[in-house]
Amino acid sequence: MQGVSINDLNGRRILSTHFAHPLRAALAIDAALACSDPIAWVPSLEGDYTATEDSSDEEEEDQQETAQPWAQTSRRAGGQAVCQVERNGLRFVAPVAADVDPVLPLAFLNQLHEVLESYIGGPVTEASLKDNFDIVLALLEEMMASGRPLLSEAAQLRELVVPPSQLLAKVALGAANVAGLSVATQSTANALLSSPLPWRRQGIKYNSNEIYFDLTEHLSYILDSRSKITTASIAGDVACRSRLSGMPDLTLSFTDASQLEDCAFHSSVRYARWGKERVVSFVPPDGAFSLMRFSLSGLSPSPSTTSTARSTSLASTLLPLSITHTLTHGSQGSSFHLTLTSRAPSSRPLQNIRLRLPLGKGVSGVTAALSGGAYAKEGQSAGAGRWEVKDGGEGLVLEWWIEELVSTDRPAVLSGQYYTSPHTKPPPSFQVTFDSPSSAFSGLRISALKVAGEGYSIYKGVRLRGKGEIEVRC
Across 104-118, 209-223, 351-365, least confident range: 104-118
* pLDDT 10s digits, 447-462: 999 999 999 999 999 9
> Across the chain, what does the average pLDDT equal?
82
Q: What is the pLDDT of residue 409?
A: 93
Q: What DSSP element (H or E) covers 261?
A: strand 260-265
* pLDDT 10s digits, 354-387: 999 999 888 999 999 999 988 765 544 557 899 9
CATH architecture of 5-157: 2-Layer Sandwich (3.30)
Q: What is the pLDDT of residue 299?
A: 80
**pTM metric for this prediction:** 0.72
Under a CB-based contact definition with an 8 Å cutoff, are residues 227 and 323 in contact? yes
Under a CB-based contact definition with an 8 Å cutoff, are residues 392 and 371 in contact? no
Q: Which residue from 15, 3, 295, 273 is spatially nearest to 127, judged by alpha carbons?
A: 15
Q: Which residue from 291, 286, 85 is spatially nearest to 191, judged by alpha carbons?
A: 286
Residues of the chain with CATH 2.60.40.1170: 211-317+441-473, 321-436
CATH number for the 321-436 domain, one of 3.30.720.200, 3.30.565.10, 3.90.1170.50, 2.60.40.1170? Answer: 2.60.40.1170
Higher pLDDT: 177 or 223? It is 223
* pLDDT 10s digits, 421-436: 888 899 999 999 999 9
- Three-class SS of residue 47? coil
> Any idea how long the chain is?
474
- Residue 84: count of CB within 10 angstroms of its CB: 23
Q: Amino acid letter at 88?
A: N
Q: What is the mean pLDDT of residues 193-219?
A: 87
* pLDDT 10s digits, 36-68: 788 888 776 544 443 333 444 444 444 444 444
* pLDDT 10s digits, 162-194: 777 554 444 444 554 555 544 444 455 555 556
pLDDT band at 152 (very low <50, low <70, confident <90, very high): confident
CATH no. of 211-317+441-473: 2.60.40.1170
Higher pLDDT: 142 or 73? It is 142
Under a CB-based contact definition with an 8 Å cutoff, are residues 293 and 392 in contact? no
Rounded CA-CA distance 96/101 in Å is 9
* pLDDT 10s digits, 266-275: 989 999 999 9
Residues of the chain with CATH 3.30.450.60: 5-157
- Three-class SS of residue 58? helix
Helix/strand/coil (H/E/C) assignment for every residue in 268-314:
CECHHHHHHHCCEEECCCCEEEEEEEEEECCCCCCCCHHHHHHHHHH
Under a CB-based contact definition with an 8 Å cutoff, are residues 454 and 424 in contact? no
Percent of the chain with pLDDT over 90: 43
